[in-house]
């Protein structure tokens, strides 16, 4: 690891213009107009389903990743590493390892059978073979502890509800399968490898590499040639034990009970480290297909950390994927928290007095928009119309009087300051 020497900057030296690191990006209303809507709906759905927010650190001890990804060295190669205080650290390239680490670290007794339902949101970064930085924003719903197929169905239902609330009803699909446990995956992998023997020339370069590693990843390839070849492959469901088949049937029946329009895809497999029920939610518009996210059991990943399997099922998704899907669907971009009152102060003295009125209004949960700049009253009233606030309150120099203006009709009435709050609440039907 290269040490960076400290630089002494002259007080008169001209500093270079600060800029964003290549590969990373900022997210704001201008760069992503869907952001507010997505975050609002995601947090709302999570709360309705009983998921509590958890936020993990952006840096982890290196051993968190080496233990978590012990069977996936290619993932470890994509993690950015740092060192402080003599302790090797890793910049998170996915949120799930940190979430599972947090669960293990804060669980007093690993054998304690208690249910935890968590929502997680955050940015991640990784590097490619060219050392270029790649940024993404992820979210997930994770259930940890004792649970059954009904809890699994709740997770799926929550994500499906999210897509519907965002307006993605027509072009979203839910594909589901089961991967069984580690023993089933091993047996199936051997059968799949035999099926692909002698057909490597029909596979892409990545899939040929998978033949020497996790052969199941061949089934995850989105290239047409590979998909045509694997379409005739045996299905993993044929290798399930009776109890595992029963478990999978139970989750399908639960989804039927919720009227969720799933498609059974017997060749779908989840990412490495996943097991049991596995599903993917996709958005397709024209020639573009976007993977919104995937759900699976994470007992095997927890076992990498704890040495023993522990119940864990969750969905990990892409916020940028949701945003792109909304863009393709031409959904109204803005999630506006509509103002109910627009303050129009006339002059500097009125602007100062408006602060008190602003505070009095929000104290009774009235959403207020204001413009304390130097624009004239005509422009301020135009801004009031654009804010979609039904009421404008015009404050002049007379301290005790406030003009209430109906923005839509233009009708105005004068009220004393001590009565304006009551009148506003009345107009808003509070």
Q: How do residues 53-81 score in pLDDT, each as one tens digit?
A: 999 988 888 888 888 787 777 778 888 88
**pLDDT reported for residue 83:** 75
pLDDT of 30 above 80:
no
Residue 27, pLDDT > 70, answer: no
* Domain boundaries 35-180+240-328, CATH class: alpha beta
d(CA 150, CA 309): 20
Q: Does residue 141 carry a pLDDT above 90? A: yes
Residue-wise pLDDT for 257-267, tens only, equals 999 999 999 88
pLDDT for residue 23: 55
The mean pLDDT value for 71-92 works out to 80
**231 and 265 Cβ atoms separated by less than 8 Å:** no
When pLDDT is averaged across residues 136-156 and rounded to a whole number, the result is: 89
Is residue 11 scored above 60 in pLDDT?
Answer: no
Q: Which option is the CATH number for 341-427: 3.10.450.50, 3.40.50.970, 3.40.50.800, 3.40.50.2300?
A: 3.40.50.800
Q: Which of 283, 329, 390, 332 is nearest to 33 (CA)?
A: 332
Asked if pLDDT for residue 1 goes beyond 50, the answer is no
- Average pLDDT estimate for 2-22: 50
Spell out the domain ranges in the chain.
Answer: 35-180+240-328, 341-427
Tell me the CB-side half-sphere exposure of residue 20, using CA atoms within 13 A: 9
Q: How confident is the model at residue 328 (pLDDT cuts 50, 70, 90)?
A: very high
* pTM attached to this predicted model: 0.76
- Rounded to whole angstroms, the Cα distance separating 143 from 315 reads 9
The pLDDT of residue 413 is 92
In this prediction, residue 18 has a pLDDT band, given cuts at 50, 70 and 90, of low
Judged against a pLDDT cut of 90, whether residue 15 lies above it is answered with no
Query: What does the block give as tokens for 257?
Result: 């009970």
Residue 376 has pLDDT above 80, yes or no: no
- Average pLDDT over every residue of 156-174: 93
Q: Which of 105-119, 158-172, 326-340 has the highest mean pLDDT?
A: 158-172
Measured distance CA(210)–CA(219) in Å, rounded: 10
Separation CA 218–CA 282 (nearest Å):
19
In the structure, what pLDDT confidence band is assigned to residue 164 with cuts at 50, 70 and 90? very high
Q: Which two tokens stand for residue 19?
A: 């800029």
Tally of CB atoms within 10 A around 186:
11
Q: What is the pLDDT of residue 3?
A: 39
Containing H/E element for 119? strand 116-127
pLDDT digits (tens, 9 = 90+) for 228-254: 999 999 999 889 989 889 999 999 999
CA 168 to chain centre: 15
With bands split at pLDDT 50, 70 and 90, how would you rate the model's confidence at 333?
Answer: low
What Rg, from alpha-carbon coordinates, does the chain have?
A: 28
Which tokens sit at 141? 């719903």
- Phi-psi domain of 273 (left: phi exceeds 0; alpha: psi -120 through 50; beta: other): left
- Find the mean pLDDT for residues 272-278: 88
Residues 216 and 278: their CA atoms lie apart, in Å, by 13
Tokens 């519907």 locate to 164
For the record, the structure tokens of 414 come out as: 């004068």
């Amino acid at each position: 690891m290269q040490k960076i020497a400290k630089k002494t900057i002259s007080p008169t030296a001209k500093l270079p213009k600060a800029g964003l690191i290549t590969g990373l990006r900022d997210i704001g209303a201008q760069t992503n107009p869907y952001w507010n809507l997505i975050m609002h709906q995601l947090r709302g759905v999570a709360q309705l389903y009983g998921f509590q927010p958890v936020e993990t650190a952006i840096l982890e001890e290196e051993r968190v990743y080496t233990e978590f990804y012990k069977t996936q060295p290619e993932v470890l190669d994509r993690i950015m590493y740092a060192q402080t205080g003599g302790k090797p650290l890793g910049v998170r390239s996915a949120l799930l390892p940190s979430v599972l680490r947090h669960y293990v670290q804060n669980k007093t007794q690993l054998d304690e059978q208690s249910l935890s339902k968590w929502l997680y949101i955050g940015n991640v970064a990784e590097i490619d073979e060219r050392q270029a930085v790649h940024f993404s924003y992820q979210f997930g719903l994770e259930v940890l502890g004792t649970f059954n197929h009904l809890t699994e169905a709740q997770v799926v239902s929550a994500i499906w509800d999210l897509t519907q609330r965002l307006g993605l009803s027509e072009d979203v699909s839910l594909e589901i399968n089961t991967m069984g446990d580690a023993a089933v995956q091993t047996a199936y992998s051997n059968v799949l490898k035999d099926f692909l023997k002698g057909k490597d020339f029909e596979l892409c370069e990545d899939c040929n590499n998978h033949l020497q590693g996790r052969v199941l990843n061949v089934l995850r390839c989105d290239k047409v040639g590979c998909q045509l070849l694997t379409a005739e492959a045996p299905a993993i469901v044929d290798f399930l034990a009776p109890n595992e088949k029963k478990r999978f049937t139970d989750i399908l029946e639960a989804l039927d009970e919720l009227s969720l329009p799933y498609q059974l895809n017997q060749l779908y497999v989840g990412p490495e480290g996943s097991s049991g029920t596995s599903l993917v939610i996709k958005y397709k518009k024209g020639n573009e297909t976007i993977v919104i996210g995937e759900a699976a059991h994470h007992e095997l990943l927890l076992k990498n950390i704890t040495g023993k399997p522990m119940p864990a099922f969750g969905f990990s998704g892409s916020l940028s994927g949701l945003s792109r899907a909304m863009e393709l669907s031409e959904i109204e971009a803005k999630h506006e928290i509509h103002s109910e009152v627009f303050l129009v102060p006339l002059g500097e003295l009125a602007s100062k007095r408006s602060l008190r009125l602003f505070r009095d209004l929000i104290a009774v949960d009235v959403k207020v928009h204001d413009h304390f700049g130097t624009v004239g009253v005509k422009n301020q009233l135009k801004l009031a119309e654009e804010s979609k606030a039904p009421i404008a309150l015009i404050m002049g120099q007379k301290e005790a009087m406030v003009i209430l203006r109906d923005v839509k009709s233009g009708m105005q009435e004068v009220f004393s300051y001590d009565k304006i709050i009551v009148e506003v609440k009345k107009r808003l039907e509070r």
